[in-house]
Amino acid sequence: MKISSVMVVLLLVQAMILVSVDAQGTWQIINKNAGIATMHAAVTHFDTVILLDRTNTGATQINLPNGRCRDQPLERVLKKDCTAHSVMLTASSGAVRPLFVFTDTWCSSGQFFDTGMMVQTGGDFEGNKKIRTLAPCAPGGTCDWTELAEPLAAGRWYSSNQLLQSGTRQIIVGGRAAANYEFYPKRKAGEGTFPLALLGGCCDNLYPFVFLLPNGDLFIFTTRDSVALNWGTGKVTRKYPTIPGNPRNYPSAGSAVMLPLSFANGFATAEILVCGGAATGASGSNNVNAPASKSCGRIVATAGAPGWAMEDMPIGRTMGDMLNMPNGEVLIINGAQNGFQGWGKANNPAFNPVSYNPGAGAGKRFTTLAKTGIARMYHSTANLLSDGRVIIAGSNTHQFYTFTGAFPTELRVEAFSPPYLGANFNAVRPTITGAPGALKYNLVFTMTFTVTTRVGGVGVYQNSAPYSTHSYSQGQRSLLLKTTAPVKVGAGYSMQVTAAPNNNIAPPAYYILFCVQNGIPSRGKWVKQNN
């Protein structure tokens, strides 16, 4: 792998604020029965969590309030359904409140707008062209789903959404029988879809991985190939080399992240990490016992002559979720070690999460973490919370809710506390005592914090709140911001932080700011990035 001088700087900066730890993290069940099996999840800026399943499962285990029922003549399983298929969970307590969703959200997609409103698109059957919105509220609120009359231009089942630079428009990419993309809202009346050849073909090309690059183009990956798309002109601006090894998208179900964009290179370097997936041909031959891939590929999408650098994870994994963590690391969690996505198509759960340190040398990047006792297989989710934990929900390997057999429908919700939340590191953990609630581009602002030990190795990360489904977190991004050296002020410290430079780097939205000391993040602070 050829590494530019700019990449060397980035890796050194990341390595400076990371520290190796021996602890493996801890697990906690925060809700023993959320009422639904979670297929989609997103954390709101109120620290509540939107959980969604499909609607054609029959009755769930949580009733709609006040005797309300869903009377849906197009429903193929239960036309009068008085149970909820979506809930709002309070992260601090695990309490849930039922939400009302009318059309089928099976294998749909979503993303937040800059206002914090969730836009949720597509699904199956009567939900195939639907657009739904939810303006989130604080715990105790009454916010709920709204179904819009305006349809999508094409049916979207297994598609991916990406927030664009305005913060008020999303691109919706691909889906079953949809080798194209469209926008919501439309850029002009009557606008339809736009073809993209990359999305064609028969297999392993659903839920494409989509990332907004620093130059404003979109990196779009499906199966084993990827392109950069200028979404404004509709032109493919470059084609990337094919990643070695197995296919990576649904139903093979690898996962992907864009590694943190960093001030150290002017936020100009974007590097994509793609890991895991089913063995080549497993889904086509229905080989539920095929060993999942250990393979990870890493490519600098902004390089002049990019190529994939390959290495192996310690655990083969399909259906894993990959998360940008508050300290620049990547967490790989959930999934199975054999098979592929689908009802009853996988086994041998991957109980142990793995962390990936992008700033470490080859062969030293992976650490195996503490295992859970709950299988998180098909239809599981993972989302970062502002307190630094990861909330894990879902797993239903059956067409309906089935509570027998090897992998029963899973209604429990867990929180994983990474090693940085261990008791041994509390003295190193900073506490943010001051930062603005809203940011403008290039704003230099003051962050104050306290820490009980001598300060050192401090950095600030800004992480988005993505939409997690089917092993891919749509809209996920992380930024390492420029900071000055902290200075002692009273009982704490103060430093100057420079916000992201433009909306290619940080589209307007709600983000979580973390102050990180020697790899240990503070509790995050929600901030609104404005245009």
pLDDT, average across residues 270-275:
98
Residue 455: which pLDDT band, with cuts at 50, 70 and 90?
Answer: confident
* Per-residue pLDDT tens over the stretch 201-248: 888 999 999 999 999 999 999 999 999 999 999 999 999 999 999 999
Residue 17: pLDDT above 80? no
Q: Taking a C-beta distance cutoff of 8 angstroms, is the pair 97, 140 a contact? A: no
Q: What is the mean pLDDT of the chain?
A: 94
* DSSP state letter for 260: P
* Per-residue pLDDT tens over the stretch 278-324: 999 999 999 999 999 999 999 999 999 999 999 999 999 999 999 99
CB-based burial of residue 468 (10 Å sphere; 0-12 exposed, 13-18 middle, 19+ buried)? buried
pLDDT, average across residues 173-177:
97
Q: List the 180-184 sheet strands across, edge first.
A: 160-163, 170-173, 180-184, 194-195
SS3 342: coil
* Per-residue pLDDT tens over the stretch 132-141: 999 999 999 9
SS3 502: coil
Domain limits, the chain = 5-421, 426-529
Residue 51: pLDDT above 70? yes
**What CA–CA distance (Å, rounded) separates 360 from 95?**
39
**What CA–CA distance (Å, rounded) separates 279 from 150?**
40
- Token readout for 54 is 């499909």
Looking at the chain, the whole-number percentage of residues with pLDDT higher than 90 is: 93
**What CA–CA distance (Å, rounded) separates 178 from 158?**
10
Per-residue confidence (pLDDT) for residue 424, from 0 to 100: 82
**What CA–CA distance (Å, rounded) separates 248 from 275?**
8
- Token readout for 321 is 């979720």
User: What CATH number is given for 5-421 in this structure?
Assistant: 2.130.10.80
Residue 264: which pLDDT band, with cuts at 50, 70 and 90?
Answer: very high
Per-residue confidence (pLDDT) for residue 21, from 0 to 100: 37
**What CA–CA distance (Å, rounded) separates 160 from 174?**
7
Per-residue confidence (pLDDT) for residue 202, from 0 to 100: 85
Per-residue confidence (pLDDT) for residue 23, from 0 to 100: 59
Per-residue confidence (pLDDT) for residue 101, from 0 to 100: 97
- Token readout for 365 is 């990047």
CB atoms within 10 A of CB 187: 9
How far, rounded to the nearest angstrom, does the alpha carbon of residue 447 sit from its chain's CA centroid? 27
**What CA–CA distance (Å, rounded) separates 21 from 27?**
17
User: What CATH number is given for 426-529 in this structure?
Assistant: 2.60.40.10
Residue 276: pLDDT above 50? yes
**What CA–CA distance (Å, rounded) separates 517 from 402?**
45
Can you give the pTM of this predicted structure?
Answer: 0.94
pLDDT, average across residues 406-411:
96
Per-residue confidence (pLDDT) for residue 10, from 0 to 100: 39
**What CA–CA distance (Å, rounded) separates 484 from 191?**
47
Q: Taking a C-beta distance cutoff of 8 angstroms, is the pair 119, 170 a contact? A: yes
* DSSP state letter for 71: E
Residue 1: pLDDT above 60? no
